[in-house]
Structures are given as structure tokens and as C-alpha cells.
């Protein structure tokens, strides 16, 4: 018999693989690193728990930036991966209470706060302005996809590992 932990790890690996696939589906942006890699992380955060979602979202960003040659340098992309992990954690925390609010807040964090944080690394206002629209659109689409898929899974009665711990 397969344990609950083993099932969660296997599902996490599946969501990470889906993030790799999503990393190939790009949204046009100046850096080329805006993609559909975070939706699997958001779904994993709701279904498996915030830690699995954070891991999936962080790795999803690493795969996306690796795919484009780490255009902002590896250290900056590691910071962005940490931000993505945090955003997935927030999505899980809010999503259990209010899924639409989770989608809105996460979209704002990823679409506005994340590019603003890059100013700490010397990226200027021009970088922020060029990234805010594609990131906000992609963030909203990723969060909406996660919201709809999670809702469908819940309606179908598929087991929710985060609630079974």
C-alpha cells in the first residue's frame, strides 16, 4: 500500500513536470521569462499544501528562466523563484478561504510587486514598466487556470491531500 506521503510526492513530481511544460508556453515579454509555469504550482499549493506548491512554483520559474538562458542572471532568477514560492504559499493560504481573492492577490503580487522588487537589484523604472503588463496578464491567467482546475477537481470529489494531513 502506498502511503499518503508517497502519493503527495508523486503528485508533486507530476505538477513539477506540468510546470516544465508550462515553461514552454510563453507570454511575450522583454525578458522572455513570462510563461504558464506557475499554474501547476498554484494547483499543487491548494491540493497538496503550501510547501509542495512553493517547491513547484519555484522550480517552474527556474525551468522557464533556464529555457531562456537566465536573461537576468542566475542569482536574480533565484530571488524570483523564492518570490514565486512565497506567492504559491499565499495562494494556498488565501485560496482555502476565498479562491477568487487568492487569484486577485497573487496576480497583483506577481504582476506588480515582483517587478517592483527588481528595482532593488538596479533594474530601473523602465524595466518595471515594461514587465508589469505582461507579468500581470500572465499572472492573472495562471491564477485563473489554477482556480478553475482546482474548482473542477473539488467538484469531481478527487482527494485533497492538503486536508488529509
The cell for 36 is: 504558464
Confidence of residue 164 (pLDDT cuts 50, 70, 90): low
What confidence tens digit (pLDDT) does each residue in 131-157 have? Answer: 999 999 999 999 999 999 999 998 888
pLDDT of res. 159 = 62
pLDDT of res. 24 = 92
CA distances from 39 to 53, 110, 125, 129, 147 (A): 10, 12, 27, 24, 9
CB 72 within 8 A of CB 33: yes
Distance of CA 110 to the CA centre of its chain: 9
Mean pLDDT value across residues 110-131: 95
The cell for 35 is: 510563461
What confidence tens digit (pLDDT) does each residue in 47-78 have? Answer: 999 999 999 999 999 999 999 999 999 999 99
Residue 104 domain boundaries: 4-163
Give the C-alpha separation, 33 to 53, whole Å.
19
CB 44 within 8 A of CB 12: yes
3-state helix, strand, coil in the chain (%, to 5): 75, 0, 20
pLDDT of res. 134 = 96
- Return the CATH number at 146: 1.10.1760.20
pLDDT of res. 23 = 92
The total number of structural domains that make up the chain: 1
Q: Look-up: residue for cell 523602465?
A: 126
CB 65 within 8 A of CB 77: yes
Q: Look-up: residue for cell 499544501?
A: 49
pLDDT of res. 3 = 85
What confidence tens digit (pLDDT) does each residue in 70-114 have? Answer: 999 999 999 999 999 999 999 999 999 999 999 999 999 999 999
Amino acid at each position: 500500500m502506498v502511503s499518503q506521503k508517497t502519493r503527495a510526492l508523486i503528485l508533486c513530481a507530476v505538477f513539477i513536470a506540468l510546470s516544465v511544460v508550462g515553461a514552454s508556453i510563453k507570454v511575450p515579454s522583454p525578458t522572455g521569462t513570462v510563461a504558464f509555469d506557475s499554474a501547476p504550482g498554484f494547483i499543487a499549493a491548494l491540493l497538496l499544501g503550501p510547501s509542495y506548491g512553493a517547491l513547484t512554483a519555484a522550480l517552474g520559474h527556474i525551468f522557464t528562466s533556464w529555457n531562456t538562458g537566465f536573461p537576468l542572471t542566475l542569482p536574480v532568477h533565484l530571488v524570483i523563484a523564492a518570490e514565486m514560492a512565497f506567492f504559491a504559499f499565499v495562494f494556498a493560504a488565501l485560496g482555502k478561504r476565498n479562491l477568487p481573492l487568492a487569484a486577485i492577490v497573487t496576480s497583483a503580487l506577481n504582476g506588480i510587486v515582483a517587478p517592483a522588487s527588481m528595482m532593488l537589484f538596479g533594474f530601473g523604472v523602465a524595466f518595471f514598466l515594461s514587465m508589469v503588463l505582461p507579468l500581470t496578464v500572465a499572472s492573472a491567467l495562471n491564477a485563473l487556470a489554477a482556480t478553475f482546475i482546482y474548482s473542477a477537481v473539488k467538484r469531481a470529489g478527487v482527494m485533497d491531500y492538503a486536508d488529509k494531513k
